[in-house]
Chains A and B, each alone.
Chain A
Amino acid sequence: MASSSIEFRKELFADERPEDLNEIGKPKQRQDALGHVTGRTAYFDDHKFEGLLHMRCVRSPHHHARIRSVNTSAAEIMPGVVRIVRPQDIPNNMNTMLSIIGFGRDDEALLQDKKVAYKGEPVIAIIGETELQVRNACKVVQVDYEVLPHVLDVEEALTPQAPVVNEEYPNNTFDYHDLYDHQKLRFGDVNGAFAKADHVIEGEYQMSPIEQAPMETCGAIAAPETNDRYVCYTSTQALFFSLGLSAKFLNVSSSRLHFIGGTVGGGFGGKVDSLHEPMAVLGSMLTGRPVKFMWDRAEEMQVGAPRGAERWRLKDGVMNDGRIVAREFTGFFDAGAYTRLSSYAIIKGTGHLPGPYSIPNVAANVYCVYTNRTPATAMRGFGITAVDFAIEAHMDKVAEAVRMNPIELRILNAYRDGEMKAHRRLAKNTALIECCQVAAQKGNWAIRPEFSAMSSLQGDSAKVDIPPTVVDHDGKIGDRKRGVINDAAPSKDGQVSDKPTSTVAPVTATQAMGEAAREPARVGADTMPSRVRSAEQESMPARDLPQPPAPTPAPPPAPAVPQQSAFAAPQNTPSDPPSTPVVPSTQQEPYTRGFKRPGTSPFVRGTRRR
């Protein structure tokens, strides 16, 4: 039998854990293995339904085009055609995935009726008796397109003359906090450090979109059930995303939807987008029969959302001895035509900067850019993997520039326990140095004895505090606002804030799953973007909306209970309490962002739980 290739180095950090691992490190049979090897595992498409109908979409052949008209009269009389599904058949045909946690505005239709913004975007769906009949019917649908100029490059999309890809975001960038066209990170003073550095080393790194290419293509089968419910077998890897978003699209209570998933023929992030389930359930509602909506392989490759491509520009300030004293990033994340999960990937990626290194001065501007490419979505560490590639490629470039052993360079700059990271949390349980040492040993790569002797436990006491951080002249951290097109990189202007650095409390700066992004860490009103209610929110009837929170010019001196995400680690820095206590609002806040269009399902609107 194949033996495990995992090697445990239990001598490392041995005193940090009791030796009580009874299961970890021992081979354990997968619970689903017997089903897999006997062919009995039932994937969504392995459920038989009498009278199963098939659904396919008519898709745009253009990257960007206005839909003038759609003529389905020839398709309607094709043999086997049961129902043409049009955009207006979808009760609530506008969505963004993370509306389920109130992050971002609805920007994508399930079937597009005005404008297509990527090649393969669905326009019409046809339901018929057999897959072949539906394919033939799709071929005779006539769509009159007015082809528009398209943009496929992230930086071209940021120029003023670029075509508007996504009408909801006319600047071709996602709006963070409804104010900023990028996610930013400021830590210390990069420009001051560049001026003093022995070397300034720049590099640009470009990654490609990557298709998850699961062996099982995405799909769902829905059928009428008893009690006016619909059962839906789905390949989704995110069952509650699919359930919640289907309820929103179809404007029904999720209690009428009986979703069965859990068996996924390969996901890798590509099965979260919840496009199939609402279509299959809608088809079943419209026909009263079981309906299957499944991509074929060509659709999976063309319209299946890939890992978004990223472009990163790095600029390092480096001393002759290899110490990296400043690192600046400008990042462009290609979201494709619609947001899906890219807005969140950027928050995640920005929190990860500057990689696993202790660098005292860090600045980053990271953009979520819309282009006329296939929308991007999750894939295996999306938002992290590509920037890690850029960072590590750049580390090798730095090593060459200062003529240093690349592993020694990494050990020298590695973060160590107790050091402050750029996103303002203290590093703990770090092990990069030990990983580098073991990798060097395994690869017969010589490193000097002093580097072999270094340890992650020996944090630098000079790197414990948040450094004085440069802010712009208007007092905000950052420089580029929505709608202002200038240099995308962090600005060279600005001054060190005279505010005490401890006003930025370490724990409140971290965001979990994006929901913290709509409730920025309250570190004092002057560092926080003001909350602007949209005109549509304003115009909504008052009875639908609980009162919005009053503007908080200064947090009231109230119980010092820090507001924390449910996912955040417990606060454990009593020695460094935030000087401005963060007070949870006692007023309820409307949970409407992303649901501002009229006709939104009442089942997804409500008040945000505290």
Chain B
Amino acid sequence: MAKMPLQFSLNGRDTAIFVNGGENMLETLRRGVGDMSPKYGCAQGTCGSCTVIVDGQPQLSCLTLSQTMEGRSVETVSGLSDGPQLHALQQAFMDGFAAQCGYCTGGMLMAAKALLMNNPNPSRDDVVEAISGNVCRCTGYEPIIDAILDAATKMRGRAM
């Protein structure tokens, strides 16, 4: 299968790589680039473990054809913190016991970040809607919802 060149921005850094014709972005990020933070959970677009942010919107990398990412801005959870300084969402997930096995956490954080970028003051229902495509088998979701609302409050306080 022919290899195609692909250039995109990954967590703010320019990235160039050759990809196979039918390759999906989950494979490209994990095996090609080496960013292992998006996870394989179903490869069918139903679990959300592979969620990344593309140009500000949450997207399932397992259903994203890599070639369509040409020139786009892709964010993964490995770029969420500012060096050692954790993002408010990361701190809230840690403090609120919103991560147990951790497998869904990266995708969950990306879905949450995309929500707060578009809606800094979400209602509980907004949060539930935003993470409705992300399955978690450990927590029962409540700690995750609480953590996202907690982070939103802290981020608004910081902005003011």
Contacts and interface: CB of A to CB of B under 8 A. Distances in A.
A214 interface: yes
Interface in B46-101: 46-47, 49, 76-78, 80-81, 86, 89-97, 99-101
A240 B138 CA distance: 24
Contact of B80 (A38, A42, A45): A38
Given A42-B36, A43-B103, A216 B41 contact: yes
B5 interface: no
A30 B92 CA distance: 13
Interface string B102-143: 111110010000000000000000000000000111100001
Contacts, number: 106
B39 A37 contact: no
Given A32-B102, A297-B46, 16 more contacts: A1-B96, A2-B95, A30-B100, A36-B93, A36-B105, A37-B94, A38-B90, A39-B76, A39-B77, A48-B34, A215-B103, A216-B40, A265-B39, A268-B137, A297-B41, A297-B47
Interface of A: 1-2, 27, 29-30, 32-43, 45-46, 48, 212-217, 264-268, 296-297
A266 B92 contact: no
A1 B103 contact: no
B28 interface: no
B106 A29 contact: no
21 contacts: A1-B95, A1-B150, A30-B97, A33-B99, A37-B89, A37-B94, A38-B80, A39-B37, A39-B77, A39-B105, A39-B106, A40-B37, A42-B36, A46-B36, A212-B137, A214-B101, A215-B47, A215-B135, A216-B40, A265-B103, A297-B42
Contacts of B35: 39
B10 interface: no
B152 interface: no
Looking at A33, A34, A35, A39, the one whose CB has the most chain B CB atoms below 10 A away is: A39
Instruction: Determine chain B's interface SS by DSSP, over half rule.
Output: loop
B43 interface: yes
B76 to A, nearest CB: 7
B26 to A, nearest CB: 11
Given A36-B105, A268-B137, A297 B143 contact: no
Contacts of A215: 39, 41, 47, 49, 101, 103-104, 135-137
Contact of A216 (B89, B92, B95, B103): B103
B25 interface: no
Contacts of B100: 30
Contacts of B42: 297
A359 B34 CA distance: 61
Contacts of B81: 38
A263 to B, nearest CB: 8
Most chain B beta-carbon contacts within 10 A, residue among A1, A46, A212, A264 = A1
A2 B39 contact: no
B99 A36 contact: yes
B101 to A, nearest CB: 4
B41 A39 contact: no
A33 B102 CA distance: 8
Contacts of B46: 297
A265 B95 CA distance: 20
Contacts of A217: 40-41
A38 B81 CA distance: 7
B86 A37 contact: yes
Contacts of B49: 215
Given A1-B150, A33-B93, A39-B77, A213 B102 contact: no
A2 B150 contact: yes
A2 B137 contact: no
A297 B40 CA distance: 9
A32 B80 CA distance: 17
A428 B109 CA distance: 45
Given A1-B96, A215-B47, A37 B146 contact: no
A29 B135 contact: no
Q: Which 3 A-B pairs have the closest CB atoms?
A: A39-B37, A36-B102, A265-B103
A131 B143 CA distance: 36
Contacts of A48: 31, 34
B78 A39 contact: yes
Most B CB contacts (10 A, CB to CB) among A33, A212, A296 go to: A33
A30 B97 CA distance: 8
A11 B45 CA distance: 50
Contact of A37 (B40, B76, B99, B103): B99
B147 interface: yes
Contacts of A265: 39, 101-103
